[in-house]
Structure 1
Amino acid sequence: MTTRWLTSKEQRAWRAYIAATHLLEDAIDRQLQQDAGMPHLYYSILANLSDAPEHRLRMTELAEHTKITRSRLTYAVTRLEKDGLLRRENCRWDKRGSVAALTEEGMATLERTAPGHVATVRASLFDQLTEEQVDQLEEICTGIARALESDDARPAPDDVPWRRRSSPSCP
């Protein structure tokens, strides 16, 4: 098999992408640490729960949404539960499963933190782009995600922990 090396143009684009994503993630993490004392991952967990029906998600679904391993999710949920921002509940349909549920304090934290988070995302990303570039960014990211999630690119379910099949969702 012959390696298809990146062209100079592709190498520049790749390095620009890496620099931009690292700097953006750092800016978001700094803002969330300052405003809420939590990293972006924890905020994402709370935000996913706030969007879910009844503010609850089965742990396996939450891992899928956040694209993290079960062990990393368990660690984060334990910390958020200790801080009173969410709680774990038993799944009524599957005794082996558990559900993460957003608490009132967790929702209040999100509501208090969201304006600063949105301002950081806007200033760091969207204010730097034209309307046409926003459309292009969406198209590019959607295409990349679609390709990575396609059956051809997808590793076997056991290879990617957040893609493991689980029992039906708990209501």
Structure 2
Amino acid sequence: MTRPAYDAWAAYRRLQLLVDVEVARDLEKESGLSMPDYEVLSAVAELASTQMCVRVGGLAARLQWAHGRLSRQLGRMEGRGLIARESCELDGRGDDVLLTEAGRRTYEEATPAHLASIDRHFGRALSAGQLAALVDIEQAVSAARLP
């Protein structure tokens, strides 16, 4: 690894940790949701808008989480009434994940404050050119992972 690549990697990790801590702290304070709670609610809401069933396996792939981690998170969220799991009606294999009314309302109420936190701790600190460069960087790294 070259020194510039390592320095960029280290800067990326510091930035990610710094912003993640602040945004997670704000999310918990404003909505009572943990970052994993919000990530699951967001992914289920987004996937449900484009497909009939949100399968646990597809959700795990979307979040890039291990199946066991997601199952434990879903269990906690189900216990709090944010999501429900039902057997898939299409083929009977596996479970679908559904937002409950309380989960949808919680997600919708948390989102404006969450976006404001991202803007406050990240977006406002960068110029439009820096933000665009970061998007370009993510796209280049993602494209390099494709087969």
TM-score normalised per structure 2: 0.90
Q: Which has the larger radius of gyration?
A: 1
2:54 is paired with a residue whose SS is strand
Deviations along 1:25-50, one digit per CA (max 9) or x if unpaired, are 11121112212223212101101111
What percent identity do the matched residue pairs reach?
27
User: C-alpha distance in 1, partners of 2:48/2:112?
Assistant: 23
The residue that corresponds to 1:102 in the other structure is: 99
Task: After superposition, give the CA deviation of every residue in 1:141-171 in whole Å (9 maximum; x if it has no partner).
Answer: 12212223x12xxxxxxxxxxxxxxxxxxxx
* Native 8 Å contact 1:59 1:97 kept in 2: yes
Question: Which protein has the bigger helix share?
Answer: 2
Q: Is the 8 A contact 1:49 1:56 kept in 2?
A: no
Can you give the 5+ residue segments of structure 1 that lack an aligned partner in the other structure?
152-171
Assess if the C-alpha contact under 8 Å between 2:22 and 2:121 holds in 1. yes
Tell me what 1:18 maps to.
13
Q: Which amino acid is the alignment partner of residue 79 of structure 1?
A: R
| 8 A contact 2:44–2:54 mirrored in 1 | yes
How many residues are aligned here? 145
Match of 1:114 among 96, 111, 114: 111
1:42·1:76 contact (CA, 8 Å) conserved in 2?
yes
Unaligned runs of 5+ in 2: none
Partner of 1:160: none
RMSD of aligned residue pairs (Cα, Å): 1.6
Partner of 2:43: 48
Could you tell me the TM-score, scaled by structure 1's length? 0.79
